[in-house]
Structure 1
Amino acid sequence: MMRLLFATAATLALSACNQADAPAAAAQSASVTETAPATMPVGDRVLLWGDTHVHSINSIDAFSSGTANADIDSAYRFARGIPVIFPRTGQKVQIDRPLDFLVMADHAVGLAVSSRIAANDPSIMEYPIAQRLRELLTEEGGRALTTAAMGQSNLTEEERAAFMRDMRSDEVMAGSWQGQIDAAERHNRPGEFTALIGWEWTFAPALRNMHRVVFTNAGGDVASQFLPLANYQTEGPEDLYAYFEQTRTRTGADFVAIPHNSNLSEGRMFELTDKNGDPFDAAYAELRNAWEPVVEITQYKGSSETHPALSPNDEFADFELRNMLLTGVPTDPLGGSYLRSALLRGMAEQSRIGVNPFQYGIIGASDSHTGFSSQEESNFLGKLGEDYLPKDRLGPDAVNIIFPSAQMSASGLAGVWADRNDRQSIFDAFRRREVYGTSGPRMSLRLFAGYGFAASDVERRDFAHHGYRMGVPMGGNLLPANGRVPQLAIRAVKDPEGANLDRVQVVKGWIGTDGEMHERIYNVAWSAGRSLRTDGSLPDVGNTVDLATARYTNSIGAAELATLWTDPDFDPAERAFYYVRVIEIPTPRHHLFDALALGIDPASIDITPTIQERAWSSPVWYNP
């Protein structure tokens, strides 16, 4: 059984606030900046922003709109900040700030088959079934070709057999894979922009989402020595891990796998049995821990942190939720679908078998199928080319698709603390989990955990350098307590082009001495004008959004929040994790912009017109 508790005011003596009536201990350990902050010191690592989950028309589902979505080179160019053409409309689009890295995660199943047929690639058109698929494309359009490529009913039995034999052959896959590699090599600029080579493993038993994005540290020469593993070649994640091990032994390439959209898995993503239905053992847990260091907490198709049914005392649990199957059929909220529950389950498994299978770091990504990594609510480019225009998303002409864009948000991004902007450095940051996710904004977030910090350390100009020396960064494991109490040194800085910050919270999960799972939310730093209530909650920051113009002001909130927090409820005998959640002030959600542009009353749309964007750090873990 899981018990959910809120901290009381008494247990929050070290919470950060700058109010005159706040506890003295809070004021001593807090730092709140109401004006624009100076550049945040980063010590010996740099903050890189990237998207590990973008699809081009080389993905069969992205090709369902025909050539309305971007080719792989346009996707890379857009991420690098270069103006490109949106294929459906012919207009120029450009990202406001270039990304530092990108993974083109086109599906291994059917990789580039549709786009190569559309381009009349002679190396694939030599197959009779490719010629038949070309006829479908010409006569009925991209959706018909995608339907055929995904195994639906518009091919005869003989044609279907030919498709399975020829379009899934190693020869066809090798040509498609080399195209992905060549594109990455064309756009990789070490020190400026990193193109990580990867794909998506699209495993979905009974349409329960078990997908993983995969990327490698390898360059093109090594990546050419293997083919990506597709879902139809596997029966579960164990097959993916075996492939990684075999390929690394043979070629030297290493891999990271990233589960995504656990919210669409109906509890399957973080279930506690293997593909055979057997409980985890230590060997399985070690494999999962090694190959899956991080998880995608947010993207266009919803957030996967937690659910109000699982965390009823978390007032921010109801954030961009889509609890359903890949078909759009609603499902019950289950612990196996959400990350916070998984983190708790992982510690419980560690107590049982000695290894934590779910020791996940946290990132955000987009899962864009337009080819364009789009995270701005004010300039959301949609999930697919067919829902790019405002009229496609709202009103009588809205496109009827499984994941309507009006119900999505323009999320998310990965923040990575890396030594350099290159493939190996970014890969290493993922492996050590020194990464975090945001719902789109580029907030800077540092977290160091240890035992010997002073309250003034959060003010240091060499904050990061000192943090590495005194403790462990996000993603790390705390040393044994030895009579001490864990401290978290936290600094969060607003996106320089975005909204102010509402608050910083610490989310703690632990396994009690009774073996039960618990979680608690602590408000630890917040902007001026508020004090904690007796139950540990905090009044709302306010709302400056003008629903008639879709504008807001930074007249509330803080530009920077920093605090040194000491766990007031620490028990050295209890296994625990801690992660930081940073909440922005309310800002306009993307459908509000669309509604106003179309002359639709926002009140007539059953979606909250504002959003409180956020960041989630990777956890740190304490093991007794």
Structure 2
Amino acid sequence: MVMHKLLLSTMLFSAASLSFSEDGSATETVTQVYFGDTHLHTSYSFDAFLNNNHSADPDTAYRWAKGQPVIHPYNRARVQIQTPLDFLVVSDHAEMLGVMKAVRNDSDLFGKLGLWDSFKRWSAMRQMNDAIDTDTGLAFFGRFLPVAAQGEGHIDPVADPSNNISDVAIFGDTTEVSSAAWNDIVNSADRHNDPGTFTSLVGWEWSSIPTGANLHRIVISPDGADKSSQYLPFGSDQSQYPEDLWQWLGETQERTGARFLAIPHNSNISKGYMFDTTTLRGEEITADYATRRMAWEPVAEITQIKGDSETLSELSPNDEFADFETYEHYIQNGAVDYVATAADYIRPALKRGLSIEQKVGVNPYKFGLIGSTDSHSGLSSSEENNFWGKMATDSTPETKSRAGADPDARDGWNMSASGVAAVWAVENTREAIYAAFKRKEVYATSGPRMRVQLFAGWDFPAGAAEADDFAAIGYSHGVPMGSDLAATDGADQAPSFLLRAVKDPLEANLDRAQIVKGWVDASGVEHEQIYNVAWSGERELDADGRLPSVGNTVDLELVRYSNSIGQAEFAVHWTDPDFNPQHSAFYYARVLQIPTPRNALFDAHALGIDEPPKGPKTIQERAYTSPIWYQP
């Protein structure tokens, strides 16, 4: 193993790479790292509106993301992101899209009804407006949502139809309402798209929630209003099965020419369904299913406001950095005790994918990793000291602490100021960013803009980790994150990895860089191992490969930290010391910052209390690269 711990003060955040034309000739291009959010809700989402986001529309979301000051939709303060984003997806819920805003505005876009039904609708709309005014709108609106099955097991499409909205008919036909909202969303995206400077991607959220399991997907398209206006987003009120979503995407793509990909998110509260050993219908996973799933879902969300989904200590007992930003609350808060399974977390899912591949020949869980916020305030806020909560109502220390006395309640104290999607793309355009997602050359951070790049290969030249043309070497001698590493003819040769990580210039120093490996042996048993491959200071590994803590400079009273520990950059050339060429494996990098104050500590001190009523006071922010897979 070769390890370097160097300061690379001249390191650039662009990278030369090779691209290939249709005739196979290679040309040199340049990739840049861009940061964005693929999961952001505005006032067009029913739950966002009913939680007091009545004014932050797509235009507000884009202006905030670009770094402009905007008015907060609930507390009406002037707010502004500290570091602007490079790209954004407004992903409002397809279900009841724009309906709550139209109810509030007494819209004449609702379909025509008879006299009696019109009176009932008028009465319901008055009641709903009263509920919104008294801050009880979300509870009142529960009668209009799909009824989640209460039983255990998989969903029976006959006995438990996915569209079980009984009272929604009182509104009449809401197609015109949702169409108007959708047109505003896609037109706003086109207005704010500025190729080379800022990218807006069209998208929405398909919000499947069978048995209360969060199986939502974010759908993204690189195409503009000319194609997006030809369809209305597919929602879980049409089907709660992902296979039906994929089929609709394929049919719509053929009909309109629009392109799509879907991103599973928030798997930590999926009740064991997101990355199961069977399909949602309880059928065996086949090669065809695995192929279709990876064609439509090349990337998964690993971290967001509702917690981190990498792994838990009960699933990865030898990982001292497991249990990061743990969120143990299902959608139906308090109704069911939280139970974690391997199907709810990313690292176990990556291992499970290798096991399934041994049986059917295709890996259904061969996905890249990103982070995003899932903010419903229209503000993509993942900065600990500039965090505005998930819902608009969570935006002040007082409203955040409403349920703070109840240790089991889901409230603002549980929420994580996370996350960010990072992509390595040739330029900041819709086409280039979409292409990066498709090839999985993406990574996640819990908020800070850490620059991380990972390559794997069999024959990197000496000095590659410190070279000025680091990325050009990586691309020409290996493969980047998100790729497959083809087996070599050298029977005993182990793969090597080039890793560079650079701190966010406005944030904390780095503690360490790790390579996380998962593999399946010949008997089908799953394994994992974490290697510390670079670190700050003069610490030394113990016999088990563990590293002493970096320390903690956080002043809990002043809510500040010092960069007197840690390191700004890491450059690593690492070779797997335990490689077995017969074992399928994946490798991803995890980069940790030194401890810093967590968002709840800022709010606790603002309230004049010593510490948050729940959750940690400090946080070690981190980045996760997409894996690289080795297949014998």
* TM-score (normalised: structure 1): 0.91
Change in Cα spacing, 1:517 to 1:399, as seen in structure 2 (3 Å) is closer
**TM-superposition CA deviations, 1:449-491 (whole Å, max 9, x none):** 1111134101111111221111110000001122131111000
**TM-superposition CA deviations, 1:491-513 (whole Å, max 9, x none):** 00000100000000000000111
Aligned partner of 1:520 in structure 2 is: 529
Change in Cα spacing, 1:185 to 1:402, as seen in structure 2 (3 Å) is farther
Cα distance between partner residues in 2 of 1:488 and 1:172: 52
The answer to whether the Cα contact below 8 Å between 2:43 and 2:101 also exists between their aligned partners in 1 is yes
Aligned partner of 1:156 in structure 2 is: none
Change in Cα spacing, 1:401 to 1:331, as seen in structure 2 (3 Å) is closer
Change in Cα spacing, 1:523 to 1:85, as seen in structure 2 (3 Å) is same
Change in Cα spacing, 1:191 to 1:490, as seen in structure 2 (3 Å) is same
Indicate the larger mover: 85-94 or 142-151: 142-151
One-letter amino acid of the structure 2 residue matched with residue 296 of structure 1? E
Change in Cα spacing, 1:137 to 1:162, as seen in structure 2 (3 Å) is closer
1:358-507 matched pairs, under 5 angstroms: 358-394=365-401, 403-483=410-490, 484-507=493-516
1:33-432 matched pairs, under 5 angstroms: 33=7, 38-43=11-16, 44-67=30-53, 70-124=56-110, 128=118, 131-141=122-132, 145-147=137-139, 149-152=141-144, 163-164=168-169, 166=171, 169-328=174-333, 329-394=336-401, 403-432=410-439
Deviation at 1:615, TM superposition (A): 0.1
**TM-superposition CA deviations, 1:323-372 (whole Å, max 9, x none):** 34212343221000001111111111111111110001000000001110
Aligned partner of 2:546 in structure 1 is: 537
One-letter amino acid of the structure 2 residue matched with residue 386 of structure 1? T
Change in Cα spacing, 1:336 to 1:168, as seen in structure 2 (3 Å) is farther
Q: CA RMSD in A?
A: 2.1
One-letter amino acid of the structure 1 residue matched with residue 419 of structure 2? G
Q: Which runs of 5+ in 1 are unaligned?
A: 1-13, 15-25, 154-159
The answer to whether the Cα contact below 8 Å between 1:474 and 1:620 also exists between their aligned partners in 2 is yes
One-letter amino acid of the structure 1 residue matched with residue 39 of structure 2? H
SS at 2:532's partner residue? strand
SS at 1:314's partner residue? coil
One-letter amino acid of the structure 2 residue matched with residue 101 of structure 1? F
One-letter amino acid of the structure 2 residue matched with residue 465 of structure 1? A
The answer to whether the Cα contact below 8 Å between 1:125 and 1:131 also exists between their aligned partners in 2 is no
Indicate the larger mover: 420-429 or 285-294: 420-429
Change in Cα spacing, 1:147 to 1:479, as seen in structure 2 (3 Å) is same
Deviation at 1:39, TM superposition (A): 3.3
Q: Which runs of 5+ in 2 are unaligned?
A: 17-29, 146-164
Deviation at 1:421, TM superposition (A): 1.1
Aligned partner of 2:520 in structure 1 is: 511
Cα distance between partner residues in 2 of 1:614 and 1:206: 32
Cα distance between partner residues in 1 of 2:242 and 2:258: 19
Cα distance between partner residues in 2 of 1:99 and 1:291: 25
Cα distance between partner residues in 1 of 2:13 and 2:129: 55
**TM-superposition CA deviations, 1:25-69 (whole Å, max 9, x none):** x4xx41322x86643342211111100001111101111124456
Indicate the larger mover: 533-542 or 120-129: 120-129
The answer to whether the Cα contact below 8 Å between 2:75 and 2:396 also exists between their aligned partners in 1 is no
The answer to whether the Cα contact below 8 Å between 1:366 and 1:374 also exists between their aligned partners in 2 is yes
The answer to whether the Cα contact below 8 Å between 2:143 and 2:167 also exists between their aligned partners in 1 is no
The answer to whether the Cα contact below 8 Å between 1:324 and 1:331 also exists between their aligned partners in 2 is yes
Cα distance between partner residues in 1 of 2:403 and 2:205: 34
Change in Cα spacing, 1:523 to 1:168, as seen in structure 2 (3 Å) is farther
One-letter amino acid of the structure 2 residue matched with residue 201 of structure 1? W
SS at 1:430's partner residue? helix
One-letter amino acid of the structure 1 residue matched with residue 75 of structure 2? T
One-letter amino acid of the structure 2 residue matched with residue 572 of structure 1? P
Structure with more relative contact order (C-alpha pairs < 8 Å, separation 6 or more): 1
The answer to whether the Cα contact below 8 Å between 2:51 and 2:137 also exists between their aligned partners in 1 is no
Change in Cα spacing, 1:40 to 1:80, as seen in structure 2 (3 Å) is closer
SS at 2:485's partner residue? coil
The answer to whether the Cα contact below 8 Å between 2:53 and 2:376 also exists between their aligned partners in 1 is no
Deviation at 1:286, TM superposition (A): 0.5
Cα distance between partner residues in 2 of 1:485 and 1:416: 28
Deviation at 1:115, TM superposition (A): 1.2
* TM-score (normalised: structure 2): 0.89
Pair 1:563 & 2:564 matched? no
Cα distance between partner residues in 2 of 1:494 and 1:185: 33
Change in Cα spacing, 1:335 to 1:397, as seen in structure 2 (3 Å) is closer
Cα distance between partner residues in 2 of 1:399 and 1:90: 28
Deviation at 1:592, TM superposition (A): 0.8
Change in Cα spacing, 1:397 to 1:491, as seen in structure 2 (3 Å) is closer
Deviation at 1:134, TM superposition (A): 3.5
Change in Cα spacing, 1:400 to 1:141, as seen in structure 2 (3 Å) is farther
One-letter amino acid of the structure 2 residue matched with residue 496 of structure 1? P
Change in Cα spacing, 1:247 to 1:202, as seen in structure 2 (3 Å) is same
Change in Cα spacing, 1:580 to 1:83, as seen in structure 2 (3 Å) is same
The answer to whether the Cα contact below 8 Å between 1:133 and 1:145 also exists between their aligned partners in 2 is no
The answer to whether the Cα contact below 8 Å between 2:128 and 2:140 also exists between their aligned partners in 1 is no
The answer to whether the Cα contact below 8 Å between 2:404 and 2:411 also exists between their aligned partners in 1 is no
One-letter amino acid of the structure 2 residue matched with residue 263 of structure 1? N
SS at 1:241's partner residue? helix
Change in Cα spacing, 1:104 to 1:130, as seen in structure 2 (3 Å) is farther
Cα distance between partner residues in 2 of 1:62 and 1:609: 28
**What number of residue pairs does the alignment pair up?**
590
Aligned partner of 1:31 in structure 2 is: 5
SS at 2:35's partner residue? strand
